[in-house]
Structure 1
Amino acid sequence: MKAGILDRTINNLWRVWGEVSNSTLSYIHGGPRPELPPEDLEKVFDKVDKCIDGIGDEASLRSQAAQIGQVYIKLNTDGRRNFLIELGKRYGVDRHKVDASIDSIKQAGSTDPERSLAEEKLRRALEPRWRSLIGRLTTLPEGVKFLVDMRAEMLSLQPKEESLTHLSGDLRVMLSAWFDIGLLELVRIDWNSSASLLEKLIAYESVHAIKSWDDMKNRLDEDRRCYGFFHPNMPNEPLIFVQVALVDGISQNVSELLDETKPAMDPTEANTAIFYSISNAQRGLDGISFGNFLIKQVVEELSKELPNLKTFSTLSPIPGFSKWFSNQINEDASGLLTKIDKKKLSLYSDAQTDEEILTDIFGHIQQKTSYSSETDKELSDFFIKLAAIYLVTAKGKNGKVRDPVGHFHLSNGARIERVNWDADKSARGREQSFGLMVNYLYDLQDIKDNSTSYESDKIVAQSASVRSILRG
């Protein structure tokens, strides 16, 4: 699906940019090979030099940028890597100019206008030369989307090159300015949206795969909502989108939430909105945060449309839990098991040491394909407690929680409300968190205080039930 969308995007750019430049065919004919070997690279960068140096009028420079973009599109992965590395190496910040500008500032002292002129000279010197090419690419039809996809390729290329890291970082700064939250439009997506947009939702969904068009239709039923952020320069491309279920009470199982056989609920009778999937659609915009604004705007939108909604919660994955548990066994298992835990888990392990018991439990839960709340109560109680420990206490050097989904919601002011056993029966859910999921509750009265406490004091907001679990 993603390949199909990419192919159509490339073909469209090739067609549109060909219209921008009448000389494209003569330039491309007999042009660079897909892998862009050194001799071909030099020929291409002769054109890049002229475009960056601004040789010609603005119309011809725009045409040159279109030609360069078309060359890039036709390269294979190796060729694009060679192109991007060379772009980063040749056209970064000119350090000689920077040093000269600093000397000018020192010589000017505090005297105006000499000081102001020297400072302006330094500002210009600190700007990488590749920005000239990037700026001209933005003036082309769908040029912004081209640059977003180009940065996505930079992020995926391995191993990393220093010049590529600088180029990607600077492009992120430029994209951050272009994609300011004030320029974004919140759009509701429903079954009447264009087929091409719905196809992109299927391709970009990153939390719970959309398995079919029937599944897609179910997620857009009358008791469901889907919203996305869009940018004027990419009107047909969602930047990020969230899927919401309107239900009675806080959901604790995603399979039930996505069950296509269940009848739709009257949304005016729902009291809870469950945010069960938030997907970033554009890899090239990594490092630019939209999610916190998206959730807050969707809460406002839903509150206006359906004043009967009183509770706003997520049903979220715990992507780092399984790996963390495995690391605890291998590195330091002490402290995870109480005497009561060992007694309850004796049904699953007759080992004596904490490490051996946890290893047995780890193997046992990986082998199970289904669980029962009755026969597996000891197991479920232990893993719910373990997940709570991970979500609240496993932190990085910066004092923030390690779980990326948890960090996102806690930063936005949510609290950890409840950990759910056997909530995600998918293979991915089993692999990343043994099927456990968590509800993050957005209590509108506490969002600001929770966010401030987490950001400034690293305090993790949690419900009374979670605190009780942690106390054992």
Structure 2
Amino acid sequence: MQRNWFLGDLLDQLFERPGKKRGKDDKRSISELCEALLSAEGEVSGFALASTILDRYQTLDDPEKLDFFAYLNDQLELDADLLSETARHYAEYRSVDLYKKLSEAAEPKRQELLRRLNQPSGATQELVATRVDLLRFLKSNPELKRTDVDFVHLLRSWFNRGFLVLKQISWDTPARVLDKIVAHEAVHQIHDLDDLRRRLFPPDRRCFAFFHPSMPDEPLIFVEVALTTEIPNAIDVLLSEVREPIEPEQATIAAFYSISNCQRGLTGISFGNLLIKQVVTELSRELPGLDTFVTLSPIPGVNRWLAGETGHPEHGHAAEAVLAGTAPPQDVRAMAARYLLLAKREDGMPLDPVARFHLGNGAELHELHAGADPSQNGRSQSGGAMVNYLYDLKKTERNHEEFVAHATIETSRSVRAASTAVLAARPEENPA
């Protein structure tokens, strides 16, 4: 039977029993409060207890927070023996009652605790922030991964597509939201208000973000879009202070040039593919003349890969030249193409995280550009190279299926040719 949290909490607030401990006056430890929330007391006064626990957590120092996560991890673990025994009984009898018991036994108590903690207003945002601490502790306490699995399980449920709200970010968006766009821009830094205005105010620029009803002023992820007549080959073309804007109706291309996640506590919960698909739908509805959807994306891992390739008998000299900033543009493109097509993880997927994201969404590796990002970050990541991923809406589903099933990378002839292009001669081979 579904618990009536609202009625219980309302009655609890209206008819406070004398002597009942509340809030800051409750001297119980945070683990004792959690046990109370999971008990019959939590059925009656769950809202108050959840608020007290969340407030108490904010006062903890790092060692105390680590103790709290250890409590969740060890004391609220599932009972493996009970689960095994119940599973054996269910396999034999298959009764509805046993199925319910099996479902309960298969869920760690910490999942129910997190659900009950999510009752007060603002609790979802506090739990997202709590996971930021957990992720920090995981580096030296990998056993806490079990607790993180449960956080992710519930956050995926709470932040599923049905709850997300797409909003356009414009120059008229409240400053409290714009400040967060500036703070979380992770691809091309927003330097000042003029820079922000160039991305939001012109008629041929768009920015969209996903929000959650429980966090209305906190963007979860946002994408910046340029409406153009040509596929961009450099970021300065899009962010120039002196460019002439075009009317949106003139545009035939929508170029996604920056996608940034805003909530570290939601790491591992993917919104980007949904965001791109919905933005494509929105832009297509607004501007039917758009016929090409493409990115201008960084290649964040190429220089790290090149650092390990300097001894390669065939292209080691080119790797050294790209890292030194002395390689000709054709070699920068060639090495970037080799990285994107040949550098793989153990599971056969591309090493580059941005490539995995777009190719996993069904995009095509379309074109490479040397000198496309002259910023310090661009040079340190990829020697200034950038890449276009093309979203051909007629092929994205097939491309996605092939990539997921076989790690097949849909690639244009241009990029394929670059990956096998003859490199510049080694310095010692040049004539005197």
Whether TM-score is above 0.5 comes out as yes
Spell out, residue by residue over 1:217-256, the C-alpha distance to the aligned partner (whole angstroms, 9 max, x if none).
Answer: 1110221101111222222221111100112201111123
Q: CA deviation at 1:159?
A: 3.2
1:355-388 Cα offsets, whole Å, 9 max, x none, are 4x357525531xx6xxxxxxxxx61111111111
Residue type at the aligned position of 2:101: K
1:136 corresponds, among 105, 111, 116, to 116
Cross-structure match for 2:219: 238
- Write the letter of the residue equivalent to 2:289: N
Identity %: 36
CA deviation profile, 1:144-194 (whole Å, cap 9, x unmatched): 111111112211225343542111111111111122212222111111111
Q: Give me the whole-angstrom Cα distance separating, in 1, the residues matched to 2:253 and 2:372.
A: 18
Does residue 123 (structure 1) correspond to residue 123 (structure 2)? The answer is no
In structure 1, what is the equivalent of residue 324 of structure 2?
A: 364
Q: What amino acid is the match of 2:314?
A: G
Q: Which amino acid aligns with 1:335?
A: E
TM-score (norm 1): 0.80
What residue in structure 2 maps to residue 421 of structure 1? 370
CA drift at 1:57: 4.5
Are residues 1:396 and 2:345 paired? yes
Q: How far did 1:417 drift?
A: 1.1
Distance 1:448 1:97, change over 3 A: same
- Structure 1, gaps ≥5 residues long: 1-19, 32-41, 337-354, 369-377
Alignment of 1:337-416 (within 5 A): 355=316, 357-358=317-318, 360-362=320-322, 364-365=324-325, 379-416=328-365
Contact between 1:89 and 1:163, CA under 8 Å: does it hold in 2? no
Question: TM-score, structure 2 length as denominator?
Answer: 0.87
Give the match for residue 174 of structure 1.
154
Q: Say whether 1:196 aligns with 2:176.
A: yes
- 2:46 match: 61
Deviation at 1:25, TM superposition (A): 3.0
Unmatched 5+ stretches in structure 2: 1-15, 422-432
CA drift at 1:124: 0.6
Please list the CA deviations of residues 285-329 of structure 1 after superposition, one character each: whole Å capped at 9, or x if unmatched: 222221111111111111111122221110000011000111112
> Would you say the 8 A contact 2:322–2:332 is kept in 1?
no
Partner of 2:288: 307
Contact 1:426-1:435 within 8 A present in 2 as well:
yes
Aligned 8 A contact 1:454 1:460 in 2: yes
| Contact 1:85–1:161 (Cα < 8 Å) also in 2 | no
| Among 234, 247, 258, the residue aligned to 2:239 | 258
3-state SS of 2:77 partner: coil
Task: Quickly say closer, same or farther: Cα 1:79–1:215, change in 2 above 3 A.
Answer: farther
- Do 2:306 and 2:323's aligned partners in 1 also have CA atoms closer than 8 Å? no
* Number of matched pairs: 403
Partner of 1:52 in structure 2?
A: 38
Secondary structure in structure 2 of the residue aligned to 1:439 = strand
Counterparts of 1:24-103 in structure 2, within 5 Å, are: 24-27=23-26, 43-55=29-41, 57-58=43-44, 60-103=45-88
Q: Secondary structure at the match of 1:209?
A: coil
Structure 2: distance between partners of 1:452 and 1:153: 36
Q: Moved runs in structure 1, 4+ residues, more than 4 A?
A: none
Q: CA deviation at 1:457?
A: 2.5
Q: Distance in 1 between matches of 2:396 and 2:138?
A: 39
For 1:190 and 1:98, locate their aligned partners in 2 and report how far apart those are by CA, in whole Å. 52
> What RMSD in Å do the two structures reach over aligned CA positions?
2.3
Tell me if structure 1 keeps the 8 A contact 2:348–2:407. Answer: yes
Task: Work out the CA distance in 2 between the residues paired with 1:360 and 1:151.
Answer: 40
Q: Which residue of 1 aligns with 2:313?
A: 334
Code of the aligned partner of 1:382: D
SS where residue 244 of structure 2 aligns?
Answer: coil
Counterpart amino acid of residue 334 in structure 1 = P
